[in-house]
Structure 1
Amino acid sequence: MMLQIQKKQKYSFNAVKKTLVLKSLVALFATGLFAVNSADDIYTEKLSKNSIFKPIKGLNNKQYDQYILGKSFFRIPWVESPSATTARDGLGPLYNANTCISCHPANGRGTFYKKNSNKLSRALVVRLSIPSNDSKEHKQYIKKIGFVPEPNYGAQLSINGVHGVMFEGRPSFEFEKIKVTFPDKEVDTLLKPKYVLKDLNYGDLHKNAIVSYRLASTLMGMGLIELISNEAILANEDIDDKNGDGISGKANKVYSPKTKKFELGRYTWKASTATVEEQIAGAMHNDMGLTTPLHPDENCTKSQKQCNEAPKDMKYKFDVPQNRLDAIEFYLANLRVYRPKEDKQFKKGLELFKKLGCASCHITSFETKIGKIRPYSDFLLHDMGEGLADGRVEFEATGSEFRTAPLWGLALHEKINGVKPRLLHDGRARDFQEAILWHGGEASKAKHNYMNLPKQKREELIKFLGKL
């Protein structure tokens, strides 16, 4: 009795959608599919540091062993090669963190700063790219990974290197303060970030380099997101805003290294990854420099001689073979999911949330084969306006478009980390109100509605968001 996670229907944008044979999440259990008995097997209403650090109920012994195996690879540090610890070597040569949990404490959202420090945490990574010049090479990059990597530093800046390999650089932030005045004369201050990269060890960035900071999201509910049908997500597309509500969400069409086809993107800040497995493999490659069957090459650019010549463990073809990747996928897909108590106060806040128009993008629920789930996202791309635009293209996502961020699990952040969550893709917003005030583009109307509420009602909405 485990959460049934199925591979998505192949998503064809040039032909009629095809129905696929359902496939088990993990090769170990490919002989059968599993289903939960009730929502109580999945959800917990316990608000604590360990709320989403435990498995769903009902796993049999083999499944629980697989869960524990995946958990160990997720939590225990990886080391550089060659090493006597052959199960966890292969770190780097360039990397940001040596464990997954460094960026996702207790499987939750990452923090902006290190604990009790004003230094940026490892959960805030720097994504790099350059505009396409329409060359054959660049077109291939756009097709396969959705963007063109920066020539000297690749797709992501690495802040660490193994012995003998220089790290790439250090990220830093400077902020400009912006005053916002409400109609009732309340004044709030926003922080507009200015990105600064220091100690660049591999030369200057490309003159047109695009730099975007990304804060690690919660891992809660990743398996449930895969259960949402393509049809349910696409039903909310309105690319040309035919209904005239100002909301024109669109699905991202992303290349899958697993299926070798274009699929419906549903993970990452720009919905540029299709499945849990691909999200894990991408993070391992970019954040820890680990090779997998989906990313078989080392995370080095052509000009990084030390990185390319670093020692490798030749015992295994990949740092993370498929069975270990499967175990990590199984672990993340079968975590408990926090569900807030929907008391009278919660329902009152939810009604206000809908009335303001927030639910036009942060859709409150989806029906799946195991029942209703509440991620508070439509998993579509929306133009968020000039203020949040990072200029970075990822497949169909433009420089001002982002996936609607799921809001579930926000209540856990302070319990896990002891600090309030930093919000938006780069963590610039220090609270929910700042995050709302940064909304532009398609979200401008909802922001306007919020700003024109009486202060008491604004506080009511903020309390609701804090319960999710």
Structure 2
Amino acid sequence: MKQKSNNFLNKFLLLTSLVAFFATGLFAVNKDDVYFSNEKDKSVLLKPINGLDDESYDKFILGRSFFTIPWVESPSATTARDGLGPLFNANTCISCHPKNSRGTLFNEKGNISRSLVARLSIPSNNSIQHQEMLKKDGFIKEPIYGAQVSINAVHGLKFEAKPKIEFEEKKVIFPDGEVVILLKPNYSLTEKNYGELAKNTAISFRIAPSLNGLGLLEQISNDDILANVDEFDKNGDGISGKANFVYSSLTKKLELGKYTWKASSATIYEQIAAAANNDMGLTTNLFINENCTENQIECNKKASSNKSIDITDERLEAIDFYIKNIKTYKSKETKVFKEGLEIFENISCVKCHKNNFNTKLGIKISPYTDLLLHDMGAGLSDGRSEFKASKNEWRTAPLWGLALHEKITNKKPRLLHDGRARNFEEAILWHGGEALNSRNAYMKLEKKQREKLLKFLGEI
């Protein structure tokens, strides 16, 4: 049955990208009108692409319901949405992705938001068990707490721990004398209910990214992504884009990684299943085990009473379809936009934040990412490797859609993987490694030029 299910999923993934193509009659309409919106509306990322037929629209609505309606503990009368936990961070996907936007660092009460999760890993001891983990997961889980810390638990069970942030000020002085104060985060875990972490555990705090344009990103061909690989910087420009190849639970082999902060997931479908398991304790045919570790006895007892699979293939496919078929924000090419883009190009930001891809359906997109790994320097290292991504390496973050964040959340976006940067300038100043030359070029710009670039980043 499992093989049959996987075969079906593989066929689904091959066909799903064509659904919108046939459903919307793209031969007769402007593709931009189908996929994009340039309105800074707080509900843009909740809207479907134009022209879905009735069956496709029903699937979109079904996926949205599983993405937004809370999951509850099993067993429950609400059998379609039970199975939460036993350990979890949030009970809905939308809790971490407000209105499908980027997550926030702090909630309305000033506490750390559920959008920020703590990922755990330990160094390999080169045992057969660890080698298998590296092959399938790309990292070694912490033995007591597992891959990710859960800040909540079902009734009668203790949560794992709570995150804590303390900031240390770091002064940066521009050549023209301007001073900017960066906040260097010191993250830790408190209230560790299952004991201390293993020695040398790496704790990587990560904020939930925006869902803007994910369906279009999946429509970029692997060949187009790999064309930008220059791992050993043969052209001597200082940029060494590297592809991450990761184990796919769908195909049972290595595939090009495109998603997550370190490009450790090959498809949106797999990333949804992984997030459901890590963030909400929900099982699927891709992740059949609850997120309890062997050392969490009471958690395993709770898990044993749950049904075998919490999210069926059909429901997971509906969520996948929903995410791939939401509108994508596209900025208007105003004078402010054009002036800022020219500076963005001149200081070589576009070498990583690429804005010139074409999808398999012939749609021109500007996601401002190459979907490749880059060494960002020791200042942004999280001490964690994932498959081919080293401790200092991160996938280039897509910048499109950042203009919507403040409109949606009434807060300026906290940027970079852990939300340390309070604005675009701070994010730029944290860039090191391969991006150091661009950072330095930014600092040498005249004040007015820097302001134009920052306004541009607020528009895309």
Fold conserved between structures, TM > 0.5:
yes
**SS of residue in 1 equivalent to 2:14:** coil
Give 2:184's aligned residue: 192
In the TM superposition, 1:143-182 aligns within 5 A as: 143-182=135-174
Give 2:326's aligned residue: 335
Could you tell me how far 1:151 is from its partner in structure 2? 0.5
Give 1:105's aligned residue: 98
Could you tell me how far 1:177 is from its partner in structure 2? 0.2
In the TM superposition, 1:63-462 aligns within 5 A as: 63-115=56-108, 117-310=109-302, 317-368=308-359, 369-462=361-454
Question: Any idea what the Cα deviations from partners look like across 1:247-286, whole Å, max 9, x if unmatched?
Answer: 0010000000011011010000000001110110011000
2:169 maps to a residue whose letter is K
Could you tell me how far 1:317 is from its partner in structure 2? 3.1
2:408 maps to a residue whose letter is I
Distance 1:77 1:61 in 2: 26
Could you tell me how far 1:21 is from its partner in structure 2? 11
User: CA contact under 8 A between 1:255 and 1:263: conserved in structure 2?
Assistant: yes
Hey, which of these two has a bigger chunk of helix by percent? 2
Distance 1:119 1:401 in 2: 29
Distance 2:15 2:140 in 1: 33
Could you tell me how far 1:35 is from its partner in structure 2? 6.3
Distance 2:366 2:160 in 1: 40
User: CA contact under 8 A between 2:336 and 2:455: conserved in structure 1?
Assistant: no
Could you tell me how far 1:311 is from its partner in structure 2? 5.4
Distance verdict in 2 for CA 1:82–1:21, change over 3 Å? closer
**SS of residue in 1 equivalent to 2:380:** coil
Question: Any idea what the Cα deviations from partners look like across 1:88-132, whole Å, max 9, x if unmatched?
Answer: 0000000000000000011000001002x3210000000000011
TM-score of the superposed pair, with normalisation by structure 2 = 0.94
Question: Aligned pair count?
Answer: 447
User: CA contact under 8 A between 2:23 and 2:53: conserved in structure 1?
Assistant: no
2:449 maps to a residue whose letter is K
Unaligned runs of 5+ in 2: 1-6
Give 1:13's aligned residue: none
TM-score of the superposed pair, with normalisation by structure 1 = 0.93
1:152 maps to a residue whose letter is I
**SS of residue in 1 equivalent to 2:16:** coil
Give 1:4's aligned residue: none
Give 1:47's aligned residue: 40
Could you tell me how far 1:370 is from its partner in structure 2? 3.2
Could you tell me how far 1:441 is from its partner in structure 2? 0.2
Distance 1:466 1:42 in 2: 21
User: CA contact under 8 A between 2:245 and 2:255: conserved in structure 1?
Assistant: yes
**SS of residue in 2 equivalent to 1:278:** helix
1:290 maps to a residue whose letter is L
1:321 maps to a residue whose letter is T
Q: Identical aligned pairs, as a percentage?
A: 58
Distance 2:275 2:189 in 1: 21
Could you tell me how far 1:371 is from its partner in structure 2? 1.5
RMSD after superposition: 1.9
User: CA contact under 8 A between 1:129 and 1:150: conserved in structure 2?
Assistant: yes
Could you tell me how far 1:344 is from its partner in structure 2? 2.1
Distance verdict in 2 for CA 1:461–1:220, change over 3 Å? same
Could you tell me how far 1:25 is from its partner in structure 2? 2.2
Distance 2:362 2:374 in 1: 28
Distance 2:383 2:288 in 1: 28
User: CA contact under 8 A between 2:23 and 2:52: conserved in structure 1?
Assistant: no
Give 1:16's aligned residue: none
User: CA contact under 8 A between 2:24 and 2:50: conserved in structure 1?
Assistant: no
Question: Any idea what the Cα deviations from partners look like across 1:364-418, whole Å, max 9, x if unmatched?
Answer: 1201123211110000000000000001100000000000000000000000000
User: CA contact under 8 A between 1:90 and 1:313: conserved in structure 2?
Assistant: no
**SS of residue in 1 equivalent to 2:165:** strand
Could you tell me how far 1:231 is from its partner in structure 2? 0.5
Distance 1:21 1:430 in 2: 40
**SS of residue in 2 equivalent to 1:310:** helix
User: CA contact under 8 A between 1:52 and 1:335: conserved in structure 2?
Assistant: yes
1:412 maps to a residue whose letter is L
Give 1:14's aligned residue: none
1:399 maps to a residue whose letter is K
Could you tell me how far 1:23 is from its partner in structure 2? 2.0
User: CA contact under 8 A between 2:23 and 2:51: conserved in structure 1?
Assistant: no
User: CA contact under 8 A between 1:362 and 1:406: conserved in structure 2?
Assistant: yes
Distance 1:313 1:101 in 2: 27
